[in-house]
Amino acid sequence: MAGGLGLVADEAQLHSWMLGAQAGDPVATRQLLDGLAPRLRAFFRNKGARPEDAEDLVQETLIAIYTKRSMFDPEQRLLAWVYAIARYRMIDRWRRIGNRGLDLPIEDFEHALAAEETEAGDPKSDVAKLLQDLPEKQRVAIELVKLKELSIAEAAAQTGWSPSDIKISIHRGLKALMRLVGSTAKGA
């Protein structure tokens, strides 16, 4: 646990350690990685990873954070950046070795794109930022059905598009979001 106190470090403390790690402070680097490890373990368990896979994912994510720490923008929220990397590592691992029975249909994939509210701030805000990069039709379809929880029929009636068009726009939009999150995490 962080600092040997048995407490999980908060965002401000982790952010401070990241700044120290970026400056080359080995103590801050160790504190940062130790502080993030329990959060990442919980994140991967909550996402359905088996215990042995969760530990591998934690290590892969910590290595990525360590190697990419110079690319972290101090103006950014650290945990949002960390969880983006973690999501990318999880998705990449499942692609590489198979999902071992975990079923993530494309329609439900936004759950893999946004961290839990208690972990990374406001996921709706994070998703809203990503949605801005989508074509209008895909963005509107996802907002209506996935965020506002309208039925396909209700979204079709509201937009004047066919139900099939709504479904296709959601499918394409979610695929585009996965690519955006993957490229953000890779560049992180």
Domains and CATH numbers, the chain: 1-102 (1.10.1740.10), 104-188 (1.10.10.10)
For the CA atoms of 128, 134, 137, 87, the dihedral, rounded to the nearest 10 degrees, stands at -60
What is the average per-residue pLDDT within 134-145?
A: 88
The pLDDT of residue 126 is above 70: no
What pLDDT sits at residue 160?
Answer: 94
pTM of this structure: 0.50
7: left (phi over 0), alpha (psi -120 to 50) or beta: beta
Pairwise pLDDT comparison (145 vs 182), residue with the higher score: 145
Q: What is the DSSP letter of 73?
A: -
Pairwise pLDDT comparison (81 vs 174), residue with the higher score: 81
Q: Is 70 exposed, middle or buried (0-12, 13-18, 19+ CB in 10 A)?
A: exposed
